[in-house]
Each structure stands twice: as C-alpha cells, then as structure tokens.
Amino acid sequence: MPTEFQSSSRGASLDPAGCSPSQAKGKVLVEILLATYNGERHLDALLHSLEIQTYGNWIVIARDDCSTDRTSGLLQVWQQRLKGKLVILPDSDPTSIGSCLNFGVLMQASRSDYVMFADQDDVWFPDKVKASLEALLALEACWGSDTPCLVCSDAVVVDEHLTRRHPSRWRHSGTFPNGLISPVQISLDNPVQGCTTMVNRALLRLALPVPVVAPYADWWLAMSASAFGQICFIKRPTLLWRRHSSNASHYSSLSDDFLANMLRLNTAHLRVKSMLSKSVPIVDEFLARYARQLASGDRAALEAFLRLGRSSFFSRRYLILRHHILFASLIKSIGFILFV
C-alpha cells in the first residue's frame, strides 16, 4: 500500500524532489521497545505480527513490569523462537513502576539511531516498520540526522477480539493532525500515539529522561519534537489498536466523550477544568527544562496556557485565540472556548 505523508512542525514538507521517502535497504537497525504487564492474552498476536514484518533488521527490547500472569514466561518462549531478535531487560524493581516509567527504562537502554514503541496488545501491519523507517529517513534527508525527528501514523480501532470499531483513531477521537502542530496544541490534544511512533536518536538525546509528571512518554516526545524538530504523520493506519478494560491508556470517541459532556451544561466547565489540570504539570515541567531554548512564540503560548486557570472570563478567551490554544477538531475547539 502506498504511504501518504503529512509533515508538520514549523511548516516542513516532504518535497518529492528533495525529501522523497527513502527506500529502507535493510542496513539500518530498528529497536522496538516493548513494555509488558499482565499481557499474556494478547502478547502472542503482537509478537507474531513483528515476526512477519517486511523489513527484517529489527530487534525487540522488552521489559516486564512485575506481571502476575504468564507474560514473563511467554517472553522467554519468544526469545528462543526469535533467535536473538528479542532481548529481555532484567526487572530490578520489586514492585510495578507503571507503563510510562517502564518505557522510560527501555528508552534509556536503547542504543539504535531508530526506535519504535510497541504495546503488548496491538497487532502491527506487516509493513509498519518499513513505512515508518522510510518516512523518518526522508525527514532526516531534509533536515539532517542531528534534527530531532518523530514519525507516527493512524491506527484502526478494534475491540478485544480484533473486531473493527472504527477505521481511523484520529477521526474517531477528533485528533486528526491538520496543519502545524505546536507544543501548546500537543499539550492540550496530542495526536501522537506511542504505539504508532518511530523516533530518531537526536530526539531521544533531547527528550530523555521523560519526567515522572508525564502521563505518557509519547506526550513528552511529541512536545519535544514539535518545539525543536520535525514531525511527520503517515496518513494511514499501520496497526490494529486494541481497546479493552485492561489498557493503560485512556481512550474515548469524540461523540461519546467530549461532545456528549460538552452538551451537559452543568458539567461542561468541570470537564474542561479537569482536562487542563492534567496538562498543567507537563507544561510546567516542559517550561522548566526548555524555556531558554524555546522559540519566543512557543514559550509565550505555553505560559499563556498556564495562566488560563487564573485569568478572567474574557482574558481566557483572548489568550486562547491569541496563542492558538485549540484542538484539531472544530467541535472540540468550540466547546473549549465556550466552557473554559
């Protein structure tokens, strides 16, 4: 299937003459980071989908987070089956550290110039590694390997039994990435999904360590790439994204969650306040680490975001419009402006 690209962050574009997608020749090693926890029901399906990737020069680095089921044993079985393509990091913590910190440990252990992230219950399309690598090599061809780069794609939303629920996670959740993606926009409504993502070494050097206040590592990586590098969106799904009660990340559709709650006038303001409160710690931390390096516009927008909660009725709306603190979805943006 042909790969469509949309490049964002500071107006970058993949020009066919100068930045056309590179062909992955098999010489580049891709590390796939796999954080597991009580994933025995679906781990086989994920690892089989990695096993049949059309791009073959990859290795999985896995770390189990004190699972109480058969996950650890399954990893050892697959380690034998994959013959050196699966490395299991020792679990030195006596208690579970959670998904975000688990991925943080894996990122610190990674060494390759190109790194992907795998959730234990998804199923990858056979060309996922190849498509992601070609897009990232194309970005580096334009901007250089020293530029922090991130590539991500859409995903098909499925239930626990892989029954399709929606053909596009972006469309279903109202987070489709249109136009430029700024750090403040990502802090409010992140379109970058870790399990669809590949990053280069320059981004990891910049962004690590991921702070403990970040609810998800992809949120921090996306903000860092948007502020200091380049993001490329592959405008098609590259995996089946399984949603069920045991998922670590929260997910709900635009219609079922945001819009439905916005129409309940008595709770709309509380919903928006709750959304902002989840973003404030990560914005605080981002400014604390990068304020001096940030472009003046990005710094001003993030500082304005932090002022929303203590500003007057009219000042909040002025700050939102002045600094483009908006969602990708028009419906979400209207609800935000009305009820913030």
Per-residue model confidence as pLDDT tens digits over 29-84: 999 999 999 999 999 999 999 999 999 999 999 999 999 999 999 999 999 999 99
Span 233-251, pLDDT tens digits? 999 999 999 987 555 454 5
What pLDDT sits at residue 14?
A: 39
Residues in CB range of 148: below 8 A, 6 or more apart: 199, 200, 202, 203, 205, 206, 207, 224, 225, 228, 229, 230
| CATH 3.90.550.10 holds for 5-242 | yes
Contact between 244 and 321 under an 8 Å Cβ cutoff? The reply is: no
What pLDDT sits at residue 143?
A: 96
Distance CA 251, CA 298 (A): 27
Q: Is the pLDDT of residue 224 over 90?
A: yes
Q: Which of 217, 189, 24 is nearest to 119 (CA)?
A: 217
**Whose structure tokens read 């794609």?**
153
Span 265-308, pLDDT tens digits? 567 677 778 888 889 999 999 999 999 999 999 999 999 999 99
What pLDDT sits at residue 246?
A: 55
Amino acid type, 286: F
Amino acid type, 178: N
Q: Is the pLDDT of residue 1 over 60?
A: no
Domain boundaries, the chain: 5-242, 254-339
Q: Which of 37, 104, 32, 99 is nearest to 64 (CA)?
A: 37
3-state secondary structure of 233: strand
Taking residues 112-129, report their average pLDDT. 98
Q: Is the pLDDT of residue 7 over 50?
A: no
What pLDDT sits at residue 330?
A: 82
Span 73-114, pLDDT tens digits? 999 999 999 999 999 998 777 888 899 999 999 999 999 999
Give pTM, 2 decimals.
0.89
Q: Is the pLDDT of residue 340 over 90?
A: no
Q: Is the pLDDT of residue 258 over 60?
A: no
3-state secondary structure of 42: coil
Structure tokens belonging to residue 225: 């790439």
In the chain, the N- to C-terminal Cα span, in Å, equals: 42
Q: Is the pLDDT of residue 9 over 60?
A: no
Residue of higher predicted confidence among 159 and 2: 159
Taking residues 136-155, report their average pLDDT. 97
Model confidence band, residue 21 (pLDDT cutoffs 50, 70, 90): low
What pLDDT sits at residue 287?
A: 98
| Exposure b/e, 128-138, CB count within 10 A at least 16 = b | bbbbbbbbbbb
What pLDDT sits at residue 208?
A: 96
3-state secondary structure of 301: helix
237: preceding bond cis by omega (within 30 degrees): no
What pLDDT sits at residue 16?
A: 32
What pLDDT sits at residue 5?
A: 45
Distance CA 265, CA 232 (A): 37
Model confidence band, residue 11 (pLDDT cutoffs 50, 70, 90): very low
Distance CA 187, CA 277 (A): 11
- Give the chain's mean pLDDT: 87
What pLDDT sits at residue 15?
A: 35
Taking residues 198-210, report their average pLDDT. 97
